[in-house]
Amino acid sequence: MEKARTGLTSGYILAITGASGAIYAKRFIEYFSKHQMPLNCIISDAGRRVWEIELEGNIKNMLPTSIPLYSQNDLAAPMASGSFLTLAQAMVILPCSMGTLANIAQGLASNLISRAADVMLKERRPLILVPRETPLNRIHLQNMLKVSEAGAIILPAMPGFYHRPQNIQDMVDFLVGKILDTLGLPHEFFKRWGSEK
């Protein structure tokens, strides 16, 4: 992605993996696009496939042109390097597959997503993993504990119901709003408990 290599590569990193929940990533992208905030996307091969299955389209055609998209094999991308992290504010893996979680937990850094996550951890930068898997086996749980102890935040895709969601979009917004809260970014994606708005 030449534009990102030569131009501004600061901002946030969104990694989309092959877990169910591409709709969350789409909504997250919409927030950054609407607020014209810098975002760099990475997608795994499985992530591309699940996006097509769940959203009935190709991510390339659905992503605003201002947002660079890297493939999991692009190990020469800026975020594979520690120096990029002086600019990167946070990385969110949304949704996060158990495979990518395991890759990060073992420190394999075998593709751009796990390498970028590895860099975020070593540089002590915010890293949020959003798993969707259920039920969880002992390996999943151990891997979550490992990455949590290494500094990552595990933010499972678990909907709340106290804001009385009326449809799928409300449930998606609740989850994406929780991620934005964790990043310290303002939003009105859901009504807060006890508030009128």
Ligand X SMILES: Cc1cc2nc3c(=O)[nH]c(=O)nc-3n(C[C@H](O)[C@H](O)[C@H](O)COP(=O)(O)O)c2cc1C
Binding site for ligand X (CB under 6 A): 17-20, 44, 46-47, 49-50, 53, 97-100, 132-133
Give whichever of 54 and 123 is closer to ligand X, judged by the CB atom. Answer: 54
Give whichever of 81 and 137 is closer to ligand X, judged by the CB atom. Answer: 137
User: Sign of the C-alpha dihedral, residues 184, 185, 190, 195?
Assistant: positive
112-122 and 98-105 are packed helices; what angle lies between their axes, rounded to 10 degrees? 50
Q: Tokens representing 124? A: 């002590």
Report which residue's Cβ sits closest to ligand X.
18
Give whichever of 103 and 163 is closer to ligand X, judged by the CB atom. Answer: 103
- Minimum CB separation of residue 68 from ligand X in Å reads 19
DSSP assignment, residue 110? Answer: -
Q: Which of 54, 64, 121 has its CA nearest to residue 88?
A: 121
Q: Three-state SS for 62?
A: helix
- Minimum CB separation of residue 111 from ligand X in Å reads 7
- Minimum CB separation of residue 9 from ligand X in Å reads 22
Q: Tokens representing 103? A: 């890759």
- Minimum CB separation of residue 196 from ligand X in Å reads 36
